[in-house]
């Protein structure tokens, strides 16, 4: 089968490889669509620190070279002897976080912060979905309803990230919410915040193209910090109160500062983005506001909710898709395009 395999920085090759044998607890998925994530871009540009490059991962027993891709959907073509809840022909999506199911965190239900995983994922620490087929344990696989497309199903994973961020941030009906960053995660966060009942949603970004996509949602107030004072505008709109929740999806100091300044007294700032450099926390500002600073990692126990939200149209995640490409062209039309063209948001890859 064809698969996009990473060997090093800026070294991804589409090659013909053998399909992994199906174990007794495994299912084999014919991949329909796989989304390119910001983590994939980071891995493509600088795999060290994100992928197991020198030593094998303790759960997958794998290291680079690996098949990338952790946001994917497809159809089951084979099941192992112990698989009873899934069958050949089922259309599915994948929850790719690796977990040991034995540590204290896993036993308490917090498998997304498994101490033996180190926030590892299929497609980053084991072979993933940028391929014609993927074989993986049944625990990672969720059946999708008939009214959900396979394109939508490929967006369940990133939407689950943002759905959890909205939940951890405590967004509720009637809230005013600020989202910094209008990349795919920021845009999906806006859609999830709206579905949670937020009545005012502000989205900031320096990219006019990304803000234009956010504008197309029809409910968000988009603000470019190079053109307008974001905090001043929010304070004007909220009678000098601020937003109830600020969700940081950009991962830089300036946007974190904006969140801290724009959130109301006793409000919540939720960190969803991964920062390249740890930000400085303005502790006095947080103290005098009694602001809560919380963080949200990936997802846990929310895939069924997210599938329902997308399938019902409450979270129209497909709105963030800007291009669909073939696996053969994943480097030029995928990774390189996303790195150089900020009008792109979510690119889906097909191996067919």
Whole-angstrom distance, CA of residue 165 vs CA of residue 204 = 17
pLDDT at 87: 98
pLDDT of residue 278: 92
Cβ-contact 238, 221 below 8 angstroms: no
- How does pLDDT run across 46-104, given as a tens digit for each residue? 999 889 999 999 999 999 999 999 999 999 999 999 999 999 999 999 999 999 999 99
What value, to the nearest 5°, has the Cα angle with vertex 115 and ends 113 and 120? Answer: 65
Cα separation of 129 and 332, whole Å? 18
How far is it, in rounded angstroms, from Cα 47 to Cα 153? 27
C-alpha 205/C-alpha 106 separation (Å) is: 36
Domains for the chain: give ranges and CATH numbers.
2-154+316-350 (3.90.180.10), 159-295 (3.40.50.720)
| Mean pLDDT, residues 28-57 | 95
**Whether the model pTM is above 0.75:** yes
The answer to whether 17 and 3 have CB atoms below 8 angstroms apart is: yes
Residue that the structure tokens 């180190």 belong to: 118
Residue 324 predicted with pLDDT over 90: yes
**Cα–Cα distance, 129 to 122 (Å, whole number):** 8
All residues at 6 or more sequence positions from 232 whose CB lies less than 8 Å from its CB, including other chains: none
Q: What is the pLDDT of residues 204-260, one digit of tens each?
A: 999 999 999 999 999 999 999 999 999 999 999 999 999 999 999 999 999 999 999
**Using only C-alpha atoms, what is the Rg of the chain?**
20
pLDDT digit string, tens, across residues 128-172: 999 999 999 999 999 999 999 999 999 999 999 999 999 999 999
Share of the chain above pLDDT 70, in %: 100
Query: Rounded to whole angstroms, what are the CA distances from 260 to 173, 239, 316?
Result: 22, 17, 29
List all residues 6 or more positions away from 174 whose beta carbon is below 8 Å from its beta carbon.
197, 198, 199
* Amino acid 276: pLDDT: 85
Place of tokens 């100091």: 253
pLDDT at 336: 97
Handedness of CA 81, 87, 92, 95 (dihedral sign): negative
Task: Say if residue 15 is preceded by a cis peptide, omega within 30 of 0.
Answer: no
- Give the integer Cα–Cα distance in Å for 53 and 28: 26
- Angle, helix 184-195 to helix 208-215, in steps of 10 degrees: 20
pLDDT of residue 198: 98
């Amino acid at each position: 089968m064809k698969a996009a395999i990473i060997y090093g920085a800026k070294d991804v090759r589409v090659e013909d490889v053998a399909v992994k044998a199906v174990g007794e607890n495994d299912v084999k998925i014919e991949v329909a669509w796989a989304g390119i994530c910001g983590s994939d871009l980071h891995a493509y540009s600088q795999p060290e620190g994100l992928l197991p490059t020198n030593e094998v991962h303790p759960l997958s027993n794998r290291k680079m070279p690996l098949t990338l891709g952790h946001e994917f959907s497809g159809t089951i073509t084979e099941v192992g002897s112990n698989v009873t809840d899934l069958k050949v022909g089922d259309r599915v999506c994948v929850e790719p976080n690796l977990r040991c199911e034995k540590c204290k965190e896993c036993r308490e239900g917090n498998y997304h912060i498994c101490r033996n995983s180190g926030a590892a994922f299929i497609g980053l620490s084991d072979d993933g979905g940028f391929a014609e087929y993927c074989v993986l344990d049944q625990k990672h696989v969720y059946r999708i309803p008939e009214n959900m497309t396979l394109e939508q199903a490929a967006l369940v994973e990133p939407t689950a990230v943002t759905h959890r961020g909205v939940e951890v941030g405590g967004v509720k009906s009637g809230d005013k919410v600020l989202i910094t960053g209008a990349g795919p995660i920021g845009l999906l966060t806006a859609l999830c915040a709206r579905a949670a009942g937020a009545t005012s949603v502000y989205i900031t970004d320096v990219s006019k193209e990304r803000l234009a996509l956010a504008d197309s949602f029809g409910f968000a107030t988009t603000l470019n910090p190079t053109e307008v004072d974001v905090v001043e505008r929010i304070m004007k709109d909220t009678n000098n109160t601020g937003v109830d929740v600020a969700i940081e999806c950009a991962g830089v100091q300036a946007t974190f500062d904006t969140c801290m300044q724009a959130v109301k007294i006793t409000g919540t700032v939720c960190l969803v983005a991964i920062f390249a450099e740890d930000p400085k926390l303005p502790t006095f500002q947080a103290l005098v506001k009694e602001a809560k600073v919380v963080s949200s990692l990936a997802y846990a126990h929310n895939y069924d909710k997210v599938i329902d939200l997308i399938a019902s149209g409450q979270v129209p995640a497909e709105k963030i898709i800007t291009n669909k490409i073939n696996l053969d062209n994943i480097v030029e039309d995928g990774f390189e395009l996303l790195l150089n063209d900020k009008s792109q948001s979510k690119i889906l890859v097909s191996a067919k």
